[in-house]
Structure 1
Amino acid sequence: MQIDRDLLDGLARAALAGGREVLAVYATDFAVDAKGDASPVTEADRRAEAVILDELARLLPGVPVVAEEAASDGKLPADLGRVFVLVDPLDGTKEFVSRNGEFTVNIGIIEDGVPVAGAVLVPAQGRLYVGGRGHGAFTAPVEDGVAGAWTPIRVRTAGADGLAVMASRSHAGPETEALLARLAVASRISAGSSLKFCRIAEGAADFYPRLGRTMEWDTAASDAVLRAAGGSVVTLDGRPLAYGKRLQAHDTDFANPWFMACGEIDIPTVVAAAAGPVAAGG
């Protein structure tokens, strides 16, 4: 698939369109419903997904799309093909409901199991991240639903004093603590949603272990941004996180294994740290 500035612009437009719907609901006294898996969903999820799907139909006609809310209703493409799109219209619904501003809109393109382009919007913070294979990663301010100038971003080299670790605001647990106890950790930064990947991509942190359940639409867009910024996302055994996982023997379609998002750090060191008891649940 050809990755160019026009494609990245189109992904940005789709994310911005979804973000406008999200903020319109955010400003109201919205209701919170529960899906079949007991996870929360709001009108913002549904409205954002609808406009994103409309934008993608114009940008990438005929390309299959796996979108979170459609998937929860059983609406999935019969065949993904080599190229497909993953959409999470509102990642961090818990953050949205608690109104802490750390929720995101996510659109990622997958080719042959690899995230090759993505857009991540942080609507309440007015910040957009985009990245594509061969083009690098960028961030831009957003005001009144319009993105400003793009600034290149890249992962940093971890400091000699240890890793700056992104910790999940809603999902950290004892397995994460066990892994971090084996590593030199200089600082910990809490954040919600896919924003953690983007903070690593822009050089504000080094490492984010996610030893818990996620789905491919949760990670695809920010994974693409991080990889384009020079980082990596690997499973606990060091393999790149793959996409398009269906007919999994021990999990549902599109469910991710545990993984680690990394800046410019020594991957064998974190893989070795993950080889202890924490690996049993991955």
Structure 2
Amino acid sequence: MGLHPDSSLLDEVIALARAAGERILDIYASDFTVSHKDDASPLTQADLASHRTLSAGLAKLTPGIPVLSEEGADTPFETRQRWRQYWLIDPLDGTKEFIQRNGEFTVNVALIENHTPVLGVVYAPVLNTVFAGARELGAVRILGTTREAVRTRACADRPVFVVSRSHKDAALDALLAKLPDHAAVSKGSSLKFCLVASGEADLYPRTGPTSEWDTAAGQCVVECAGGEVLRLPDLAPLRYNQKDSLLNPGFVVIGDPHAGWRERLRAAG
């Protein structure tokens, strides 16, 4: 029997994400240094501090359930493919936002069950805001101590699209040109998912590269709020831990599943 994502577990994970955020903020307030991973992306001391907090906390909270983290993603697929449940975490999503000090970075924690996120927490430490969701519980936003349910909205007459602040490419520009007239907002990290989940935006298309830890928590929040996250170009649900690579295909986050976006995206190619 797997771990059931109930409200008690969700609150425990929210508390753990907040604790990791505190470690990040300690470094955010200092003259932090930046090193580089093998792929030359920036790695701060904050990534590692958050990783250690989350990994230790989840191991204590749910002994026996493995943890896959961006900062420890060396578990071979031969091992991972046997996991029915596991935690998938991005200790600091939006490293560029962290380095630029714009506050739009998050701590992401997701529980994956049978390739699907069933619990997700996205915490923005600078904004003191949590977005969280769990299967059968719905989605919430916690701003300070104020907690409220969130839902995606019926698509606006002139839809609002979320675009990445740091990762725009020619493929995305081509796709946007074929979709209806829209307003565009930019946001960093998994907060893009949260704008759709909270009814502040209608669509988030992503053609550039992402990894599974970048999307799982945000996807869970969106789906628990009534939206959907689909792969591009085939529009099948985005799923996890099905192959050796941890890179995602392109995808689209849809707030209103009844607004005809599937047809528009197929027509756009």
Contact 1:165 1:185 (C-alpha < 8 Å) held by counterparts: no
Question: How big is the shift at 1:273?
Answer: 4.1
How many Å separate the matches in 2 of 1:274 and 1:10? Answer: 42
Residue 152 of structure 1 aligns to a residue whose secondary structure is strand
Q: Is 2:222 aligned against 1:226?
A: yes
| 1:266 aligned onto 2:260 | yes
Partner of 2:108: 106
Determine what percentage of the aligned residue pairs are the same residue: 42
Deviation at 1:2, TM superposition (A): 1.6
1:278 aligns to what?
A: none
CA distance change for structure 1 residues 273 and 121 in 2, over 3 Å: closer, same or farther? farther
Name the residue aligned to 2:152. 155
Length, aligned pairs only:
262
Distance 2:268 2:26 in 1: 42
Q: Pick closer, same or farther for the CA change 1:27–1:112 going to 2, 3 Å.
A: same
Q: Distance in 1 between matches of 2:268 and 2:84?
A: 31
Alignment partner, residue 56 of structure 2: 54
- CA shift, 1:266, in A, is 2.2
Partner of 2:119: 117
Task: Specify which of 164, 168, 172 is matched with residue 168 of structure 1.
Answer: 164
Question: Structure 2: which amino acid aligns with 1:65?
Answer: V
Give 1:157 deviation, angstroms.
0.8
CA distance in 2, matches of 1:270, 1:52: 40
1:257 aligns with 2:254: no
Structure 2 equivalent of residue 129 of structure 1: 131
* Unaligned ranges ≥5, structure 2: none
Poorly superposed stretches of 4+, deviation over 3 Å = none
Q: In 2, distance between residues paired with 1:137 and 1:20?
A: 23
Write the distance in 2 (CA, Å) between the matches of 1:263 and 1:118: 17
Counterpart for residue 93 of structure 1? 95
TM-score, normalising length from structure 2?
Answer: 0.94
**TM-score, with length taken from structure 1:** 0.90
Report the Cα offset of residue 76 of structure 1. 5.7
- The correspondence for 2:9, drawn from 3, 7, 10, is 7
Q: Deviations over 1:217-249 (max 9, x none)?
A: 0001111101000011101111000101323xx
Contact 1:155-1:200 within 8 A present in 2 as well: yes
- Aligned partners of 1:214 and 1:94: how far apart in 2? 14
Give the RMSD, CA atoms, in angstroms: 1.4
Structure 1 residue 271, shift from structure 2 partner: 2.7
Listed one character per residue, the Cα deviations across residues 172-194 of structure 1 (whole Å, up to 9, x for unaligned) are 11211111111113210000111
**Cross-structure match for 1:201:** 197
Q: Does 1:177 align with 2:176?
A: no
> Is 1:190 aligned to residue 186 of structure 2?
yes
> Secondary structure of 2:263's partner?
helix
Amino acid at match of 2:189: S
- Give the C-alpha shift of residue 39 in structure 1: 0.8
Change over 3 Å in CA distance of 1:32–1:45 after alignment to 2: same
Structure 1: gaps (5+ residues):
143-147, 248-252, 276-282
